[in-house]
């Protein structure tokens, strides 16, 4: 798994869920924050007509954090919103996943199940939307 792949899974997972799954791994690497966690904004860009030129659409709150493990390994995390703990956790997981001894467990026991949970959540939302799929009949006027 790549760092951006893990980052996406961790950012889309609700923080309390991530917190409990991470605790279950029982990995206790000492870390300190070297940047943030700090909250700011990202300007979101849209495209005219969905595919055309970019325009500045509006902003979202976001939080970022960078941590260093005791051996100096750096980890980074970014997340939409203002949850500083969430950003720090993502950075911590990212840093730990740079450790040869931990990466396998993190990918197999944390990222993969969280991705499965996201897939399940998406599928359920999709099936809920699918239940409202409609086929309108066009009536011929005057009959």
Partner 1 sequence: MYVAVKGGEQAIANAHRLLADRRRGERDQAELDVAQIAGQLRLSVDRVMSEASLYDPELAALALKQASGDLIEAVFLLRAYRTTLPRLAVSEPLDTGSMRIERRISATYKDIPGGQILGPTYDYTHRLLDFLQLAEGEVPTPARAEEALEACPQILDLLNDEGLIEQERDDGSEPYDITRDPPDFPVDRATRLQMLARGDEGYLLALGYSTQRGYGRNHPFAGEIRLGQVDIEIHVEEWDEVICIGEIALSECQMVNQFGGSREAAPQFTRGYGLAFGHNERKTMAMALVDRALRAEELGESVTSPAQQAEFVLAHADNVESSGFVSHLKLPHYVDFQSELELLRRLRKAHEAQRSRAGDPQQKRENVSEEAKATERASKGVHHERL
With tokens 């409202």, the residue in question is 132
**Residue number, 30 or 56, with CB nearest to partner 1:** 56
Q: Is 96 exposed, middle or buried (0-12, 13-18, 19+ CB in 10 A)?
A: buried
**Residue number, 3 or 16, with CB nearest to partner 1:** 3
- The helix or strand, by DSSP H or E, that contains position 126, with its residue range, turns out to be helix 112-130
Q: What are phi and psi of 44, to 5 degrees?
A: -90, 130
Tell me if 123 contacts partner 1 by CB under 8 A.
Answer: yes
Q: Which of 82, 108, 112, 113 binds partner 1 (CB under 8 A)?
A: 82
**Residue number, 6 or 21, with CB nearest to partner 1:** 6
Give the residues lining the site for partner 1 (CB under 8 A). Answer: 3-4, 7-8, 11-12, 38-62, 64, 66, 76, 78-82, 122-136, 138
């Amino acid at each position: 798994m790549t760092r951006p792949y893990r980052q996406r899974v961790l950012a889309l997972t609700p923080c309390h869920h991530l917190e409990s799954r991470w605790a279950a791994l029982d990995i206790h690497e000492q870390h300190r924050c070297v940047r943030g966690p700090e909250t700011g904004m990202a300007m979101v860009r849209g495209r005219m007509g969905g595919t055309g030129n970019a325009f500045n659409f509006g902003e979202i709150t976001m939080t970022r954090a960078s941590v260093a493990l005791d051996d100096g390994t750096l980890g980074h995390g970014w997340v939409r919103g203002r949850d500083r703990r969430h950003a720090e956790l993502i950075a911590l997981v990212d840093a730990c996943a740079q450790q040869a001894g931990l990466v396998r467990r993190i990918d197999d026991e944390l990222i993969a199940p969280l991705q499965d949970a996201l897939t399940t959540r998406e599928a359920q939302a999709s099936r809920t939307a699918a239940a409202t799929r409609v086929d309108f009949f066009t009536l011929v006027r005057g009959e």
